[in-house]
């Protein structure tokens, strides 16, 4: 992905203007999107390599961490970090210390995968939990015997009881408290991409007939109760929420996106959060679609009009597209995912219109420092090129 040469000087760029979100003063609009890298150490503790990985990217206006499970039940992928044990909290503390020392800011993405899991991750080898019992159109990324990850079929999940739901809400609140104890500047509630909270929002995965299913109010209830519990714990100015309106990951297929996401935007607007983060409807798994659902643009505009706080957008952004989105008022902040994997100094590169390194997908999930902490920054790259 190379960034086009922009005729306008950086001074007139909106990407490089500051913005306040909740308690945080961001120096630019360039955020590092949450990126699972599946390299946690035993006990799902963030690794030593992760300290270097995040420190290298501290010039982002804000780092949103890789999705981090709030409980053992919330895990669905091999080697993802948690935020529910003392060792995990201590592990994250080393990372926030190093990012803060480098002048950065960082929030932790709180994750419960719901049905996108496997008994190997579940306490007691149980079946994963979900809003409803139905086949899961997905496979789980599990640790293989050779030390590499592999994909496994997901058994039919068990439907959460109301007591089970209450326990999960308490886990979110505790995880938020743990994130602050680990030195995070806040948290992002992951309600996107087909995981637990999205499974409750979505009519394709939520077939419940209790107060958590059926009407849009009922389907939004779990997300809003989680957000309220997290805000009560750490204050709404330190809480963001990520949604993927019209997302299709892991069997999501919402019949009335305008109704459910309209309600969620209205309810979140009342809560005074730090920000709302939207994955573009053009994102399908790791593809950026060109044939977009014709309702998508109207839905994004409706959310923008309803939600009056800072709005972050993610999915397929280049510098040019980001400048366009900011200039048109479509959003206030842009999160870059894959460009940040391959370009630790992405803000500097965007400012200079410098060429971007290409990310190597074979190193996205699992492995060692290759494709993780060995992408060069501009200065060292120039040196390497001069020497070769
Ligand atoms: C390797 C990889 C891991 C990802 N992990 C997460 C994650 O942990 N949480 C999340 O909300 N999104 C995750 N995403 C989605 C990204 O945050 C982002 O929305 C997506 O990559 C589109 O943005 P981009 O085109 O700038 O990469 C991941 C994407 C990739 C490529």
- Does 195 participate in catalysis according to the annotation? yes
The mean pLDDT value for 104-128 works out to 98
Query: What's the CA-to-centroid distance between 314 and ligand 1, angstroms?
Result: 9
Listed in sequence order, the DSSP H helices in 328-377 are: 338-342, 346-352
Res 139 pLDDT > 70? yes
Res 2 pLDDT > 50? no
Q: What is the pLDDT of residues 292-303, one digit of tens each?
A: 788 899 999 999
The rounded distance, in Å, linking the Cα atoms of 354 and 187 is 32
DSSP string over 9-33: -GGG-STTS-EEETTEEESSSEEEP
Structure tokens belonging to residue 311: 């709005």
The mean pLDDT value for 205-232 works out to 98
Run of H or E including 93: helix 86-101
pLDDT at residue number 7: 44
**Catalytic site residue from 53, 54, 195, 212:** 195
Q: pTM for the complete prediction?
A: 0.96
Res 4 pLDDT > 80? no
Res 131 pLDDT > 80? yes
Residue 196 CB contacts under 8 Å (≥ 6 apart), including other chains: 74, 112, 113, 114, 115, 129, 130, 168
Query: What's the CA-to-centroid distance between 311 and ligand 1, angstroms?
Result: 17
Structure tokens belonging to residue 127: 């079946």
Residue 378 CB contacts under 8 Å (≥ 6 apart), including other chains: 345, 348, 349, 352, 354
Query: What's the CA-to-centroid distance between 360 and ligand 1, angstroms?
Result: 14
Instruction: Tell which one of 1, 36, 65, 290 to mutate to probe ligand 1, the residue whose CB is within 8 A of the most ligand atoms.
Output: 36
Q: Name the residue at shortest CA distance from atom 12 of ligand 1.
A: 34
Res 351 pLDDT > 60? yes
Q: Name the residue at shortest CA distance from atom 23 of ligand 1.
A: 315
Instruction: Tell which one of 38, 66, 337, 358 to mutate to probe ligand 1, the residue whose CB is within 8 A of the most ligand atoms.
Output: 337
Q: What SS3 state is found at 108?
A: strand
Q: What is the pLDDT of residues 229-285, one digit of tens each?
A: 999 999 999 999 999 999 999 999 999 999 999 999 999 999 999 999 999 998 887
Listed in sequence order, the DSSP H helices in 144-295 are: 162-181, 196-201, 216-234, 257-269
Query: What's the CA-to-centroid distance between 12 and ligand 1, angstroms?
Result: 29
Percent of the chain with pLDDT over 70: 97
- Binding pocket residue ranges, ligand 1, CB within 6 Å: 33-36, 66-67, 109, 190, 192-193, 242, 279, 283, 286, 314-317, 336-339, 364
Sketch the domain layout of the chain as residue ranges. Answer: 10-387
Q: What is the pLDDT of residues 211-220, one digit of tens each?
A: 999 999 999 9
Q: What would the CATH number be for the domain defined by 10-387?
A: 3.20.20.70
Q: Name the residue at shortest CA distance from atom 6 of ligand 1.
A: 35
Query: What's the CA-to-centroid distance between 83 and ligand 1, angstroms?
Result: 20
């Amino acid at each position: 992905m190379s960034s086009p040469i922009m005729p306008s000087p950086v001074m007139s760029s909106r990407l490089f203007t500051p913005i306040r979100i909740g308690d945080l003063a961001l120096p630019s609009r360039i955020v590092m999107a949450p990126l699972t890298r599946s390299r946690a150490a035993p006990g799902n503790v963030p690794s030593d390599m992760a300290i270097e990985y995040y420190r290298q990217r501290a010039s982002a206006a804000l780092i949103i961490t890789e999705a981090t499970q709030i409980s053992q039940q919330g895990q669905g992928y091999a080697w993802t970090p948690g935020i529910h044990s003392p060792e995990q909290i201590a592990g994250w503390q080393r990372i926030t210390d190093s990012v803060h020392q480098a002048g950065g800011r960082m929030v932790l993405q709180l994750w419960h995968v719901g049905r996108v899991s496997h008994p190997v991750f579940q306490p007691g080898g149980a079946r994963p939990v979900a809003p409803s019992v139905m086949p899961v159109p997905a496979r789980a990324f599990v640790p293989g015997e050779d030390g590499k990850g592999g994909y496994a079929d997901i058994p039919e999940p068990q439907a959460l009881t109301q007591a089970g739901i209450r326990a999960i809400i308490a886990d979110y609140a505790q995880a938020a408290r743990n994130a602050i104890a680990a030195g995070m500047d806040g948290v992002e509630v992951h309600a996107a991409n087909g995981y637990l909270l999205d499974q409750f929002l979505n009519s394709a995965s939520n077939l419940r007939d209790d107060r958590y299913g059926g009407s849009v109010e009922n389907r939004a209830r779990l997300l809003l109760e989680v957000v309220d519990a997290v805000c009560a714990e750490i204050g709404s100015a330190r809480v963001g929420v990520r949604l993927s309106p019209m997302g299709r990951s892991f069997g999501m297929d919402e019949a009335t996106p305008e109704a459910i996401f309209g309600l969620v935007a209205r309810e979140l607007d009342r809560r005074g959060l730090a920000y709302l983060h939207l994955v573009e409807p053009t994102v399908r798994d790791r593809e950026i679609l060109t044939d977009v659902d014709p309702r998508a643009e109207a839905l994004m505009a409706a959310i923008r009009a309803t939600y009056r706080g800072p709005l972050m957008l993610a999915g397929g952004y280049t510098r040019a597209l980001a400048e366009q989105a900011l200039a048109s008022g479509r959003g206030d902040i842009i999160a870059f995912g894959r460009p940040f994997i391959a370009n630790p100094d992405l803000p500097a590169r965007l400012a200079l219109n410098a060429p971007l390194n290409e990310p190597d997908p074979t190193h996205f999930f699992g492995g060692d420092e290759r494709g993780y902490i060995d992408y060069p920054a501009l200065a060292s790259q120039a040196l390497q090129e001069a020497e070769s």
